[in-house]
Structures are given as C-alpha cells and as structure tokens.
C-alpha cells in the first residue's frame, strides 16, 4: 500500500516536468497576423504583383505602394530605356516630377527627381491611406508575407510605403520612423506638422546610394 503513494508522487513529478518544458518552448507574446489568402494568390510570393506596372519590375528603382489597395507609383531615379529595358548610363541634364494621385484617392505624392545626382525629394499626402487596414492588406498577401512586412505595432503605420522594384521588399512609413534603407536606396522621412484637411503629410528624401566598396574576405 505504501508503494502506491510513492508511485503516484513519481508520476506527478513527471507531469509537472512536462508542463514546465511546454511553457519553456511556448511562443512569446509576439503579434501574429492571419490571412485567408493562399500562397498562390499572394501578390508577392504568388507573383500577382508583376501584373501591376509590368514594365518596371526588375529595375534598380523604388516605388510608392498602398498596402490597402496595392496601387503602385514607380519613381524612376535610375532611367531605363522603355523599348529594351536597359539602364541609361549617361548625363540627362534635366529633372522631372514623379508621383501623382492614386486612382481611388488613397494617397498622392509630388516629388522632384534629379537623375544625374540620383535622388528624389518631395512629399506624400496620406488621404484615405492615412491608416493601415490590416484586413485589406491581408486580402492581397498570404500570412507569411503579411507578417514579414508588418511591424508589431501596425497601428503606428500608414497605409503607404516603399517597395524595391528589383527585390519586392516593402517598408511601410510609420509615425516615428525617421528613415530606412531599401537595398541601394535610403529614404529619409519627416512627418510634417501641416495637415491638409483630414490628411497627414510626410516629407521624404530618397537617395540612390549603392555600396561603394566590396567587402574584403
């Protein structure tokens, strides 16, 4: 009869040890976003995004993108031949203006592009895209891509960001984000104090700044 309580105690210790192991390996409180969009239908890993502005993909350039609507505004800091897609490496002698308003009124941008010095400067007006709608973004992106792009506090994000046209890497503009790199580009962000009605505005300065020297082994 004495052996039964002892056996019971041993079993209880094993159970408690098992519970401790489960707690140790349990995931932390990291936010995980969900999506019903499959990998095949995902605009990024499924390739659907390539049907949008098709002539620009693969360029060493960036574009503005709304994650609420997936409308894209390419910014041609590096010039490419429209016929053969080759990079134009010669003096331009002019500047141009890029951006414009989105078709659904989500955002608008006005930027001056200096081809010869490799930068763009101007502002983005966050209209309907002044807040990120995670559900709308999830209708375009699978769960893996959604979680790769969105930070832990999506409430601090605008619905607009920048996408690298060569790698498809996306970085959203955020309330307290002063700047970020995107492959060969650096984007300086300054949330303006001025407002345009209910809209929010951000001044941005985009530099083309590829790595100057190769890393030595």
Q: Which helix (H) or strand (E) holds 201?
A: strand 199-208
Q: Report the pLDDT value the prediction gives residue 16, as an integer from 0 to 100.
A: 39
Q: What is the dihedral of CA 193, 106, 44, 207, to 10 degrees?
A: -40
Model confidence over 101-140: pLDDT tens digits?
A: 888 889 999 999 999 999 999 999 999 999 999 999 999 9
Least confident stretch, 1-10, 30-39, 109-118: 1-10
Tell me what the mean pLDDT of segment 157-186 comes to.
94
Query: What does the alpha-carbon distance between residue 208 and residue 119 come to, in Å, rounded to a whole number?
Result: 6
Q: Is the pLDDT of residue 25 over 60?
A: no
Q: Report the pLDDT value the prediction gives residue 161, as an integer from 0 to 100.
A: 96
Q: Report the pLDDT value the prediction gives residue 24, as an integer from 0 to 100.
A: 30
Q: Which of 27-31, 70-74, 174-178 has the highest mean pLDDT?
A: 70-74
Model confidence over 55-100: pLDDT tens digits?
A: 999 999 999 999 999 999 999 999 999 889 899 999 999 999 988 8
- The residues near 111 (Cβ < 8 Å, ≥ 6 apart) are 75, 97, 98, 99, 120, 121, 122, 123, 204, 206
Tell me what the mean pLDDT of segment 43-62 comes to.
92
């Amino acid at each position: 009869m004495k052996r039964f309580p002892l056996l019971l105690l041993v079993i209880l210790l094993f159970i408690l040890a098992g519970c401790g192991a489960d707690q140790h390996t349990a995931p932390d409180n990291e936010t995980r976003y969900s999506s019903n969009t499959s990998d095949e239908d995902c605009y990024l890993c499924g390739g659907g995004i390539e049907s949008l502005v098709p002539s620009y993909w693969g360029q060493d350039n960036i574009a503005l993108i709304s994650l609420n609507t997936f409308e894209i505004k390419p910014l041609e800091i590096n010039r490419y031949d429209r016929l053969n897609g080759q990079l134009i490496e010669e003096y331009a002698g002019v500047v141009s203006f890029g951006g414009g308003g989105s078709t659904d009124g989500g955002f608008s941008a006005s930027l001056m592009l200096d081809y010869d010095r490799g930068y763009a400067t101007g502002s983005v007006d966050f209209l309907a895209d002044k807040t990120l709608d995670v559900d709308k973004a999830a209708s375009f992106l699978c769960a893996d891509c959604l979680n790769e792009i969105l930070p832990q506090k999506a409430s601090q994000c605008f619905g607009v960001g920048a996408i690298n046209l060569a790698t498809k890497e996306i970085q959203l503009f955020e309330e307290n984000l002063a700047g970020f790199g995107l492959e060969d580009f650096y984007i300086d962000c300054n949330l303006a104090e001025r407002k345009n009605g209910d809209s929010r505005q951000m001044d941005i300065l985009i530099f083309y700044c590829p790595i100057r020297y190769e890393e030595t082994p």
